Structure 1
Amino acid sequence: MLEIAHRLHETIDVAVLTNNTTLVADHIDTLLPELCPLFGSRIYTSARLKAAKPDPSCYRLCLSELQATPQTVLFVDDLAANVAGAREAGLFAHHHTSVEAFRQALSAHGLLRDG
């Protein structure tokens, strides 16, 4: 997954939305140092947004932070309920079940090319 994230990071903006406390984002460099170069300050926590996935308002608040529109975002999550919430908020969404299915979804959305 990190290899895919690195490839995506080269051509598009990538971000994280997590149902965690602000401590996770504040200390991501210690907890998961490999994520810092990919996401930097684009790690958003439900605690900071004061709304949690799968509530559609959580995704809308994150979109506002990103200054993005729903139709320009592909949300990926391993929980079907979170994917449904993202779709309700108007985002494209993919239910992550395997790396291969994720690659196929990214290719279908024109986000990942072979190579």
Structure 2
Amino acid sequence: MARLLVAEDYDDFRELLADYLRARGHDVIEARNGAEAVEAARLEHPDAIVMDLMMPVRDGASATRELKSSSATRGIPVVAVTAAAPRGVPAQEICPGCDALVAKPVDFGTLLGTLASLLRS
């Protein structure tokens, strides 16, 4: 399966999401903020990133911009996860550089389908 980076500041949700993805055969790397996510992406080269947009230290949108500006990480698909997105607004308008958007509360089936689609392309 895929090697995924999950960046989420809320510990309980990050652990729940990581456990859910691991139970489906994925290798999961965890980050608590955008700064950790950038560092982990550079070191671990995940197949995709699930990125909360509102995190301390460095937000997910800023982290995504940095990742997409680097030749080493720009090809990694980023799924933005946020409670602050109005329905129907494209991911690029909420988070330039993000490849997809999943609203909180997260429907795990939707997230899995989104990841599968991005990993196939």
- TM interval, shorter chain, is 0.3 to 0.5
Greater fraction strand: 2
Q: TM-score, normalised by structure 1?
A: 0.44
Larger Rg: 1
Say which structure is richer in helix.
1
User: TM-score when scaled to structure 2?
Assistant: 0.42
